[in-house]
Structure 1
Amino acid sequence: MKQILLALGLFMGALPATMAQTFRGIDKTPMDMAYYPDDYAHDRKFAPAKIGTDKAMVRVTYSRPAKNGRDVMGKLVPYGKVWRMGANEAPEIKFYQDVTLGDKKIPAGSYALLAIPGESEWTIILSSDVDQWGAYSYNQALDVARITVPVQKTETPLENFSIQFAKKDAKNATMYIGWDTTVIPVPVGL
């Protein structure tokens, strides 16, 4: 009987160790979202009077890598090559209604948001190939639209890659994409 209890005790003592779950560490490139109108999801839940009957125009879900003392543009983000705009999966941009991106008409829907960075201008790419890791499987045949936008410089470097929307007028906004001292203004409208 003592042998059975001893065996049972050893088994039960070992059980928690074998059932322990191992979790990965925290991702160094946290995910973020940008809406237009700004903070739409929050206001829809907590301040519905603030948005009234307005519908969201656009949401971007992306990962925010940090500069961490590295040379970003032209080095970490190479010029002339397709880049996923951020880290990990390619950002997903969701248009809740038909919009224009630059001068291109874009149907409501979800797209991968990619770019070809350059020193003085960037090519912004919307691809129908969502859920891709990085831009490694990029296929130009799946492009929905491409627009070219000028590069702007800022005096104050941005430590983390960021996307933010600003209202231009009642039907238009600018999606600002920024990292380090580079800012890319992308016009979005209804």
Structure 2
Amino acid sequence: MKKALNIIFIVVGVLVLALFGVRYYTKSHSPFEKLTAKGSRDLKVELGYCRPLMKGRKIFGELIPYNTVWRTGANEATTISFSRTCSFGKRKVKDGKYSLWTVPGERYWTIILNTETGQWGTNYDESKDYLRFKIEAEKTVEPTEQLTIKLNQVADNGIDMTLNWENTQLNIPIR
């Protein structure tokens, strides 16, 4: 009996180490970045995401199909948190932490805030959506090699979130 328990503990230990190894390996190809920005009236926005590279691939419409939910990054789902109730893309959002998902389209994208956080991969549950809205995607002249999300403070003390990858740019105001 004692020998069986020791074997079980060893197997569980090896599996846990393997899980951490896989996560470390995948993040080495799509590094994690955490952003923070402050706006007016004690608004603080934090965003965490993993940054995949194009590596010569066609991204939108092929690697990431149009009209399909995407985790908006690599590895675990991208997260965004708001310190107070604010507007996100002109929609009211309560303070809290959300996962950020998108549905890329050729001209318009659907932006999704979901109440479930911490998912690895594409474990998306539509029933936990908090907010959805469409936004027009802009085409850029120069391609962006690595997925880049920025939180930029603007003159009216708000924050603009921009997403750039391949030849696509999204701009989402946070006020």
TM bracket, shorter-chain basis: 0.7 to 0.9
Assess, with a 3 A threshold, how the Cα gap between structure 1 residues 105 and 56 changes in structure 2: closer, same or farther: closer
Q: 2:59 maps to what in 1?
A: 72
| SS of aligned partner of 1:89 | coil
CA distance, structure 2, for counterparts of residue 168 and residue 121 of structure 1: 24
Match of 1:169, SS?
coil
Q: Which residue of structure 1 aligns with residue 93 of structure 2?
A: 106
Alignment pair present for 1:142 and 2:128: yes
Cα distance between partner residues in 2 of 1:36 and 1:54: 13
Partner of 1:178: 164
Separation of aligned partners in 2, 1:94 and 1:174: 14
CA-to-aligned-CA distance 1:35-90 (integer Å, 9 cap, x gap): 2239xxxxxxxxxxxxxx97452111000000111111111111001000010011
Aligned to 2:140: 154
Secondary structure of 1:181's counterpart equals strand
What is the aligned residue count?
154
Q: d(CA) in 1 for partners of 2:162 and 2:101?
A: 14
Give TM-score scaled by structure 2 length: 0.80
| Structure 1: gaps (5+ residues) | 1-20, 39-52
Q: Distance in 2 between matches of 1:140 and 1:73?
A: 21
Is the CA contact 1:154–1:181 (under 8 Å) kept in the aligned structure 2? yes
For the 8 Å contact 2:90–2:174, the answer to whether it is kept is no
Q: After superposition, what is the alpha-carbon deviation per residue over 1:114-143, rounded to whole angstroms, capped at 9, x for unaligned?
A: 0000000110000001111233x3222111
Query: Which of residues 126, 139, 152 is equivalent to 2:113?
Result: 126
Equivalent-residue separation in structure 2 for 1:55 and 1:117 (angstroms): 32
SS at match of 1:84: coil
Q: Distance in 1 between matches of 2:126 and 2:102?
A: 12
The percentage of counterpart residues that share the same residue type is 32
Counterpart for residue 167 of structure 1: 153
Contact 1:63 1:86 in 2 (8 A): yes
Gaps of 5+ in 2: 1-16
Aligned to 2:29: 28
TM-score by length of 1: 0.74
* Contact preservation (8 Å) 1:93, 1:113: yes
Cα RMSD over matched residues? 2.2
Partner secondary structure for residue 127 of structure 2: helix
Asked whether 1:116 is paired with 2:96, we answer no
